[in-house]
Chain A
Amino acid sequence: MLAKFLLSVLCLSMIAVAIKTDPSRSRSVLGSGSHEGPHLRLLTWNIGYAEMEDDSRAHTKDLRAVADTILSQDPDVVGLQELTGPEQLNILLSYLHKRYQGFVAPAGNSDRVDAVLVKGGGTRFETFKAEQKYAVAATFHPSQSAEVVFVSAHADAFKAERRRVFVGDVVDWARNRPNQSIAFIAGDFNFELNAKDESHLYTDNVKNDSEAYSYLLKYFRDLGRDAGYTAVDDRRIDYIFGPPETVALRRAEVLRDAAVGQMDHWPVLIEVAL
């Protein structure tokens, strides 16, 4: 009887410990720094469709909804991926009532392009080659702040080895901007980092993505880390990376009600104080 009583007490005390130390507490990103300055809103969104669709690039009929999301969230700069080309960008800009300037990267050997939109004027756009693809960047001056460089990029969906080379090129380009510039890298990087859920224990794919992500974190900070998954199947593959120290994170959110049609990604919205 005594043994049973002791076991019951032990079992109940363990339950009490588990309840008392429940780690599912709400975490706030708002207190991540005392830095106050001009705020900058950044948004990245792969507006393409899920793979099983005939054309997995962005669909023109969805651009109105994309524009509505952008207008309602009012980001200062937007990175978009998987557009079909400059025609779609022009349609989107018209839906945005010309409040944004935009630019698309060359298609290269791909059938889809990345784009970047910046609110207001005075923006310098440029594209650069990363691995076999192109990324697009916008350089602009928010009021009372240093120059901001924003890169929109899309890494290979299928080969981790290519993603690693792509990331290396993008990071090297971004970190070599002039010293005073504040650089952000945004886009769909397709990293498969959640190895715990994989059936295998260790593969080159996991290692390549791990190295690519680690290289990004060597110079940048993953601003959307606590915002959760960004694509179907609970994958976090869309990121916005920013400088590790010079900006204070104010908001990180995945807008999960924004996708329309067969889109398989949600936009990631980040707000920082410069």
Chain B
Amino acid sequence: MINQLRLEFLKLVRSRSFSVSFIALTSFVVLMLWGFYSYAERKAGEQVTSQFKYTYESKSYFNGLTFALYSVMFSFSLLIPIFVAMTAGAQIAGERQAGTLRMISVRPVSRVSLLLSKFLVVAFHTYLLVAFFIGLNLLVGLFFVGWGDLQLYPGALNLVDEPGKLLRDEALWRFVYASLSGTWALLVIAAIAMLFSVLFESPAVATVSTLALYLVFLIIGRVEFFEHLRPYFFTTDMDFWRDVFKPEIPWQSFQHYGGICGAYTFGILLLALTIFERKDIKS
């Protein structure tokens, strides 16, 4: 199994999608920095503060932690899932398309260990992506925007019901927690992509199907017509990862939604494993 894991990891690192994912995330951080910087300059200017008696968008509000929080929040639901789906969707279907799946399957490696090692590598890649993205945002925030406490307000980002604050060190820990909770939430997408990778012949179809399913639920969940269905969408449950940024982490709800995400991940993985074991590999 360890050998299998090492091989799968090497394959992943050498794949083009691996480097593309990190390059794309870095580009996003650069764009965010440019947008944040110009917005902060405009909004913290004297003209705005004299127009309104009260604004929290002051120079102390715009700091590296606020930058990192906004960047992570904005990218989590729409950007990072693309790379997770891309990597996971290519695992089995990619081998099939390359003509190597049959060969791998005739080696003395069980299909179970093949699929599980591939999933573990995808999970590791997901964590690397999230941790890299958070770390990069914090570093960029520190060097280009500056440090301070993390101030939270109702409405924007929808994290708190009343104004709150996380002190700098505590906020940094919360980003560490977010790398774990974010990875756990994204594993649902990884598991779905693995299932589609087993079902479909082409990695492109597996990736697009995963993203289509994810986006359909994400979009429908925001349409009022389907408000009563929202609690049943896995995309709603995935949102639990953000709770780590609340001044008081709601542990009960955190565990509840984390548990549901875990059930989705392991349940879908079990289904993928069952299908993969019985699948006739002809290519």
Contacts and interface: CB of A to CB of B under 8 A. Distances in A.
B45 interface: no
B3 to A, nearest CB: 17
Contacts of B112: 3-4
10 contacts: A7-B270, A8-B266, A8-B270, A14-B261, A14-B265, A17-B259, A18-B259, A211-B54, A217-B154, A234-B224
A199 B266 CA distance: 31
A198 B256 contact: no
A214 B163 contact: yes
B67 to A, nearest CB: 13
Shortest 6 CB-CB contacts between residues of A and residues of B:
A210-B155, A14-B262, A18-B259, A17-B259, A11-B266, A23-B253
Nearest to A197: B222
Interface string A138-172: 00000000000000000000000000110010001
Interface in B115-169: 116, 153-158, 161-163
B55 interface: yes
Given A17-B262, A18-B256, A193-B154, 10 more contacts: A3-B113, A4-B273, A17-B256, A201-B74, A202-B157, A206-B155, A210-B153, A210-B156, A211-B57, A218-B163
A215 interface: yes
Contacts of B34: none
Contact of A195 (B56, B155, B258, B269): B155
A196 interface: yes
Contact of B256 (A22, A195, A214, A215): A22
B54 A11 contact: no
B53 A168 contact: yes
A235 to B, nearest CB: 10
B47 interface: no
Nearest to A171: B54
Given A3-B116, A14-B263, A198-B222, A165 B250 contact: no
A168 B56 CA distance: 13
B232 to A, nearest CB: 13
Interface in B224-264: 224, 227, 239, 250, 252-253, 255-263
Interface size class of A (residues with CB under 8 A): 35 or more
A194 interface: yes
Interface in A99-129: none
Contact of B55 (A7, A191, A211): A211
Contact of A213 (B52, B155, B253): B155
A168 B52 contact: yes
Contacts of B157: 195, 202
A145 B23 CA distance: 65
A218 B54 CA distance: 10
A222 interface: yes
Contacts of A206: 155-156
A168 B54 contact: yes
B163 A217 contact: yes
Contacts of A191: 155
Given A3-B112, A7-B273, A207-B57, A214 B252 contact: no
Contacts of B54: 168, 211, 214-215, 218
Contact of B260 (A18, A165, A211): A18
B283 interface: no
A44 B254 CA distance: 35
A222 B162 contact: yes
B267 interface: yes
Nearest to A192: B155
Given A194-B158, A214-B56, A215-B54, A15 B163 contact: no
Nearest to B261: A14
B56 A211 contact: yes
- Residue of B54, B157, B262 with most partner-chain A CB within 10 A: B54
A11 B158 contact: no
Interface in A209-230: 209-211, 213-215, 217-218, 222, 225
